[in-house]
Structure 1
Amino acid sequence: MSRRCELTGKGPMSGNNVSHANNRTRRRFLPNLNDVTLQSESLGRSFKLKISAAALRSVDHRGGLDQYLAKAKDIELSANAMKIKKAIAKSGSEANALTS
């Protein structure tokens, strides 16, 4: 599995190790990824995702997985996250049709 956040698309970056003698060697900066289980209120089930710590804070700030995915750009999301987003949108449209 790639080292990429499923919600934000953050991946490894490259840079230099710089020694005291100013010698430069290439290195990789890896994102802070965590395996988390997030609960979807509209679907009533949980999903296991590999997301960055910054994305986890953003999900908490926006009020949960459903609200985060509603505002997220489709380009940044992984295939798994896109499936969840479409399922949430579908369940939301069905709920709106029932209440109207």
Structure 2
Amino acid sequence: MSEQPVPALMDTLRPLVARVAHHPVEQLTAQTRFASLGRWGSLAAMRLLATVEQTYGVQLDLRAYMRLATVGELAAEIDRLRTPDARPEPAAPAPAG
């Protein structure tokens, strides 16, 4: 993913990740890889996803999360899920007749 995270979202997400990872928040950046957080595994990921859902109101399943390598990619995905879809609604089928 090459999307840039929203700075305000990073400001709130970094402390959440730090708390779940038991990692100093000052050392977390958008480029921090989840794999670099020591004993980061599926249990920590599930705790983070539950916290993300509670905090931001978005659901991200574990499979989708596993595609995200960095804190910034997670922030961009949260932002994408929070942003209303701009695609137009499909047209209703014409009545038969």
Structure-1-length-normalised TM-score: 0.25
TM-score of the pair, normalised by structure 2: 0.25
Structure of larger gyration radius:
1
Structure with greater proportional helix content: 2
Higher-strand-fraction structure? 1
